[in-house]
Amino acid sequence: MSAQNSGPWRWSEALLERLLPETTRETIAGDLREEFVEGIEPKRGRLRAQWWYVRQVAGFIPWFAKEGRGMSKVLMTLSTVVLACAPWLAVMETILRHPGYAGRIAEAVGIAAICAATILAKMLHAGVVVERWLWLGAGALIVLGATAFLQNARAVHFEGFVMVISLLLVAQWVLMLATMGRKGGGSRPSVI
């Protein structure tokens, strides 16, 4: 197979390039393509080589997460959106007064508080200890998000707004775990 029609799946290569910072995107993607074409594919065959490439791409995710490349900004944006949505949810529950509305109002207030704390912690560059306390908030978010998602999926009257909010909460949880409470990110000094 020639080098022209050989190579990793386009989507996996594109994903790798999305994950990498601009400064290293070209060289790393080039190295992996070279290794794929000249090293892995001839030895392991096309399908296993593709699997190897996908694993390599997945291997960059922890690096991406540790360095917090742009993810803190995404987390801030997401927290702001959810913070804006939470009071609206509380107001709607107050107006509609469906069974169990008081509990859902309390949840909306809790979500707003976690979002506000997250935004403040990021804005004020709070220390690792403060950010680690926010992991408790992250835990609450995933429980609320997953519960809302499942309940809404099973409900007779599907509510798109609730579905969107629940997915936002899950995304926020992932970003909080990835970017918060890490001492110095990926640049922390290593010791023996």
Partner 1 sequence: MAELLGTFEQSVLLAILGLGSEAYGRAVLNRVQEKLARDVAAGAVYATLERLEARGLVRSRLEAGTTVRGGRARRYYLLDAEGERALGDTRRALTAMWNNVQLPAQEG
**Least CB distance to partner 1 at residue 70 (A):** 16
Shortest distance, position 62 Cβ to partner 1, whole Å: 7
Of the candidates 116, 110, 121, 107, the one whose C-alpha atom is nearest the C-alpha of residue 80 is 116
* Binding stretches for partner 1 (CB under 8 A): 3-4, 7, 24, 26-35, 37-39, 55-56, 59-63, 66-67, 186-187, 189-192
Whole-number Å distance between alpha carbons of 18 and 108: 34
Q: Pick the closer one to partner 1 by CB: 30 or 127.
A: 30
Question: In the complex, what is the shortest distance from the CB of residue 192 to partner 1, in angstroms, rounded to a whole number?
Answer: 5
Distance separating alpha carbons of residues 156 and 46, to the nearest angstrom: 47
Nearer to partner 1 by Cβ, of 37 and 148: the residue is 37
Cα-based distances in Å from 71 to 1, 39, 79, 168:
39, 33, 12, 14
Reduce the DSSP state of residue 87 to 3 states and report it. helix
Q: In this structure, what token pair is assigned to residue 172?
A: 């926020």
Between 40 and 180, name the residue whose CB sits nearer to partner 1.
40
Minimum distance from residue 14 beta carbon to partner 1 (Å): 12
Spatial separation of the C-alpha atoms in residues 182 and 61, rounded to whole Å: 16
Kindly tell me which of 61 and 84 has the beta carbon lying closer to partner 1.
61
